[in-house]
Chain A
Amino acid sequence: RKEVEQDPGPFNVPEGATVAFNCTYSNSASQSFFWYRQDCRKEPKLLMSVYSSGNEDGRFTAQLNRASQYISLLIRDSKLSDSATYLCVVNLYGQNFVFGPGTRLSVLP
C-alpha cells in the first residue's frame, strides 16, 4: 500500500463547478498535512496547510479526519486558472515529506 493515495483522476469540470479531492495516508503518526498544486512543467507550490479543525482560504476548503487518516480539498466556483495537478503531502515532524501521486484537474470553459 502506498503511503499517500489520491483519486486517480483526471477531473474535467466546467467553470463554476465545485470539485472535491480525496487523499488517504497510511502512517497514523503523521503530523502535518498540506495541499500543493503543480502546474505543467513547474515546481509544486504550497496551496494550503490542513489543520485539524479544517480551514478555508477563499474558494478552497481543506478538511482533515485523523481517525480515518483522510484529507480532502474542496474547490468552489472553479476557475480556468485552477487547472493543475493537486498533490496531497504528509509529514512527520523532522522527517521527510511524502507526496501522493496527484490528481489532475482541468477546468473547461
Chain B
Amino acid sequence: EAGVTQFPSHSVIEKGQTVTLRCDPISGHDNLYWYRRVMGKEIKFLLHFVKESKQDESGMPNNRFLAERTGGTYSTLKVQPAELEDSGVYFCASSPLRRDRREKLFFGSGTQLSVL
C-alpha cells in the first residue's frame, strides 16, 4: 500500500513567486494535515481537512497560504507570494477517521521549500 506522498521533494523559488505543494494521502484516509518545520523550530500545525472540508485552519500563518482538497482526495498548499520566512519543510500527514476518534498520523517525506 502506498504511503503519503508529497511533491515536489524540494522547491527553490525567489521571493514573490508562487509555489504549489501537493500531498496524496494514504487511500481511504479522510483526515489530512499540513505541518511545517522552520529551521531550528518545532513542527507546527497549519491546517486539518476532514475529507474536503477544512476542520481547523488556525495554524495558517497568513492569507498568502491557501490550501485545498477538492473531492476529498489529494490536497494542495499554495504560497503566493512567497516570502523568505516561508522557507522550511512542509509535511503532510494523513489518518483514517475512526469512530473512537483515536488517530495515528502517517507522514509524507515532506517538501523542502527554500525562498531566496
List the interface of chain A (C-beta within 8 A of B).
Answer: 2, 4, 32, 34, 42-46, 49, 87, 89, 91, 93-102
Interface size on B, residues (CB 8 A): 24
CA A34 to CA B103, docked complex, whole Å: 10
Contact bitstring B92-116, A, C-beta under 8 A = 1, else 0: 0100000011111111111000000
In contact, B42 and A93 (Cβ under 8 angstroms): no
Q: In the complex, A12 Cα to B55 Cα: how many Å? A: 41
- What is the chain A residue whose CB lies nearest that of B56? A96
Interface of A: prevailing SS? strand
- Evaluate whether A101 and B42 lie within 8 angstroms (CB atoms) in the complex, with A42-B109, A43-B91, A96-B56 already known: yes
Chain A residues with CB under 8 A of B104:
34, 46, 49
Enumerate 16 A-B pairs (CB-CB under 8 Å) in ascending A order. Answer: A2-B42, A32-B102, A34-B105, A43-B91, A43-B107, A44-B105, A44-B107, A45-B107, A46-B105, A46-B106, A87-B43, A91-B103, A93-B100, A97-B103, A98-B45, A99-B44
- Give the residues in chain A near B55, CB-CB below 8 Å: 94
